Amino acid sequence: MASFRYTFQKVIDLKSSEKTQAEWLLSSAIGALAAEEQTLEQLRSEQEAWEQKLHDSALSAVPLSELQLIQHYLDYLVTCISSKLTDVLHAQKAVDQSRVKLSDKMKDEKVWLKAKEHARERFQYAMQIKDQNELDELASVRFMLSTP
pLDDT in tens, 100-141: 999 999 999 999 999 999 999 999 999 999 999 999 888 888
pLDDT in tens, 40-63: 999 999 999 999 999 998 888 888
Assess whether pLDDT exceeds 70 at residue 91: yes
Q: Please report whether residue 146 resides in a domain.
A: no
Range of the domain at 84: 9-107
What element of type H or E holds 60? none
Total number of domains constituting the chain: 1
SS3 3: coil
What's the confidence (pLDDT) of residue 122? 96
SS3 101: helix
| Reported pTM | 0.77
The CATH number covering residue 59 comes to 1.10.287.1700
Q: Please report whether residue 135 resides in a domain.
A: no
